[in-house]
Chains A and B, each alone.
Chain A
Amino acid sequence: MNCRSALCAVGIDEYTSYQTLACCVADARQITTDFRDRLPGLEFTLITSNGLPDSGADKASIRAAIDRMGGLGLCESDLVFFYFAGHGFSINGRDYLVCSDTLRSDPESAIATDYVMAALHKSGAGTAVVIVDACRIKEERDSSFFGMQTAELARRQGIIVFFGCSPLEVSQELPKIGHGVFTQALLESFRAVNPTPWEIDKYAIARVRELCAQNKLKDQTPYTCIAPLQKAVLNIFTGGVVALPATGRRKCILLLGPSNSGKTTFGQYFASKYGYVHIEMSSFVWQRRQRNLGFPGAVPEFIEQVWRQEGKDIIAKDLLASAPEAEKVFVCGARTVEEIELLRSQDWNCQTIFLYASSSVRYERYVKSGQMKTYDLGYRDLVSRDFRELSWGLARAATMPDVELIINHDGLDEAVEQVARLTGDLKGQ
């Protein structure tokens, strides 16, 4: 395929006010070398810290490179990549990448991932890929997990994102091989499998586990966010679709629940841990919203109009039309009984879970996540908004006999284990 491709790779080991890392520069260099080999004519920018905090990986330099990427004027058949190895953190619901001159006291001295996503979108490339091997030490985390906002934005904008680890985990380094565990697995995957997000994800999860076990590191599970789902089978180096071998009966976990019940975090974590393709139904809503930018109302009004015009199972139909033949899928966020019934009417081995947290717990999460800054809803407004969503049929779904109600109050691990036991994944069934 005759297309343009561009890469911006950033690797930062040295920082003004963050702990020094060991392998990020090498990771970014190796990624650049590998991509140049695979993509003749690659337009690339490599930014590394080069042994000193003030040697070029500062915010201004990185931002300038991102801006250049946004102004490339690419087209649908073109490819654009952004790679980052270093520290990341999340605060007030925004994800940030730490630059060499970032100050701990000033989040705005880091680069928000939404800035990166906006530039990729603006570049015009039909295929945009972000690789984040960040969040390498735990102390950088706050109550909201790094990557949540990035994943949500990616789903809305149709950008593929590879994360080095799942929520609650640390992306680890392996100095004896000179790379981060995830980047090493990623580089190997390009040679070992068809370089589609789906195949890379599967390979990287298995290889990272193996490397962690061999080197007595903590559990680390890469997570891949793919939207739209059709891109799961896209060769990221050519933009072409890769045909898949036929699979057996699909295993599907359908996760329902109101906002802030923890569905997305749960879905990402569970899907990575047990080898499912994670699908957010909201991404199909966003795709429709992108095609109807003139709609004057907010998303709830938009989706209600779509339902009125095309039926209350239309988003499930979108999903079915786009879903590749993945053997195991984890579908989050069906909102109506009609959607649930349509998905469950497929010849799949389908288990339905209703994940719930009380209104007060969901409100606490909403405040902690920083969404309050965006939506500015008080407790009663939030309850009222949630009730609207629940009245779409979600509440009624909780009373369906074969829908398991799981209360997600006591922590992600407990809820994941509870569901894994129900689905047979805990014993590897």
Chain B
Amino acid sequence: MKKVAIADFGSARVKLTVAQLRADVIHWDCYREELNTARQLSTSLAFGEESCLRLVAAAERIRDFAQDQGCDHMIGVGTEAFRSASDGEDAARRLSRILPGFRVLSPEEEGALLFSAVSGEPGDNQMCVVDVGGASVQIVWIDQGLKVISLPLGPGLLEGAFQAQPWAADSEFQRIKEYIDKRLTTSLPQTLRRSRIVFGSTCMAEFIRSAMHHFSIDEAVGADQPNTDLMAVLMIEMRALKATEVVNVYPQNPSFAMGADKTLLIVSMIAGRVGANTAVPTDESISTAIARQLLRPATGQQSVTLSACRLQ
């Protein structure tokens, strides 16, 4: 395989990662299409026929797009949205007709993929990886083997469940904070202690850089020392914005910006609970991890078995 496409169907959007191996270096391109299914999922816990049709149409478009890009293979995966929706299996079946081999990853597989993508050392027991998806958040760490917790705390899901508008009102944000705290209290082992958190989604590191620049924190505090306090500062700076100003923080991806206050809150709260003082954002995602597996099967860590469909 020389050029592959990975389609990651989340609750809010489908992300297409195109990866090409040239002269032993992987080159990346990312595309996304908004699905707007998060609110439907959070209120009815099902995709419903309309959302399913949107998923299928989006799958057809991105498959054709991947072909146009010259990809020779493609893999489609689904995550929490498919796991939690009552009609998730049906939706996955319909997608597999467009993208043969499409399958829904388990939380453990998601965690293993991201952990393998961000960790140079498979046995790193000082690191905790937090994968922030639209619907779920995977928390992964090593403790006599890989441990994974998947929590329904994705910003898209929280928005659908708690917010009347895309930007949370103060009272809504307070309820979100209390909800996250409850979920973490009941799910995260109290004894879990890690000095470093690596947190990511497709554009997390890019967003953090953009936000630091927007708030003029980059030159003041230095971008080379990401710590948990910085994430909390960015969170409260985001909260101090008016709804109309939020997209300016990260114009490349306005919908990500609208959920970033919640993302930063989740990361800060997890960091506080595990006692981490370093928080490193990463652009690595399950898509980049899968692409590495496909393009470098000999060197990449084979954490999850997936089958790619050949594109014409």
- Interface on A for B, CB 8 Å cutoff? 354, 356-361, 379-381, 383-384, 387, 390-391, 395-396, 398-399, 401-402, 404-407, 409, 418
CA of A418 to CA of B233 in the docked complex: distance in angstroms? 22
Interface flag for B33 (CB, 8 Å):
no
Q: Looking at B182, B219, B236, which has the most chain A CB atoms within 10 Å of its CB?
A: B236
Interface residue tally of chain B, by bracket?
Answer: 20 to 34
**Interface class of chain B by DSSP:** helix
Cβ-defined contact, B240 with A390, below 8 A = no
A407 and B170 contacting across the interface, CB-CB below 8 Å: yes
* In contact, A398 and B240 (Cβ under 8 angstroms): no
B216 contacts A395, C-beta separation under 8 Å: no
Q: Are B220 and A405 in contact (CB under 8 A)?
A: no
Binds A, one of B74-82, B106-114, B221-229: B221-229
Partner of B239, one of A356, A361, A387, A395: A356
Q: How far is the CA of A405 from the CA of B229 in the complex (A)?
A: 16
CB of B220 within 8 A of CB of A358, answer no
Produce 1/0 per residue, B32-54, CB < 8 A to A.
00000000000000000000000
Tell me the complex Cα distance, A401–B235, Å.
Answer: 14
Q: Which residue of B lies closest to A359 (CB)?
A: B215
B269 touches A399 (CB 8 A): yes
B237 touches A359 (CB 8 A): yes
Q: How far is the CA of A381 from the CA of B220 in the complex (A)?
A: 7
A391 touches which one: B220, B229, B236, B269 (CB < 8 A)?
A: B229
CB distance from A260 to the nearest CB of B (A): 13
State which of B178, B219, B236 has its C-beta within 8 Å of the C-beta of A398: B236
Contacts of B228 in A (CB 8 A): 396
Partner of A396, one of B177, B182, B240, B268: B268
Pairs A–B under 8 Å by Cβ, sample size 29: A354-B236, A356-B240, A358-B215, A358-B240, A383-B217, A383-B220, A387-B229, A390-B229, A390-B232, A391-B229, A395-B233, A396-B228, A396-B229, A396-B232, A396-B272, A398-B232, A398-B235, A398-B236, A399-B232, A399-B235, A399-B269, A401-B180, A401-B181, A402-B178, A404-B170, A405-B236, A407-B239, A409-B240, A418-B170
Q: What 0/1 pattern do residues 236 to 259 of B give for CB contact below 8 A with A?
A: 110111000000000000000000
A401 to B184, CA, bound (A): 11
Task: Give the distance in Å from the alpha carbon of A153 to the alpha carbon of B173 in the complex.
Answer: 37
Q: Do B170 and A357 touch (CB < 8 A)?
A: no
- Mark contacts of B162-180 with chain A using CB atoms, 8 A cut-off: 1 yes-contact digit, 0 otherwise: 0000000010011001101
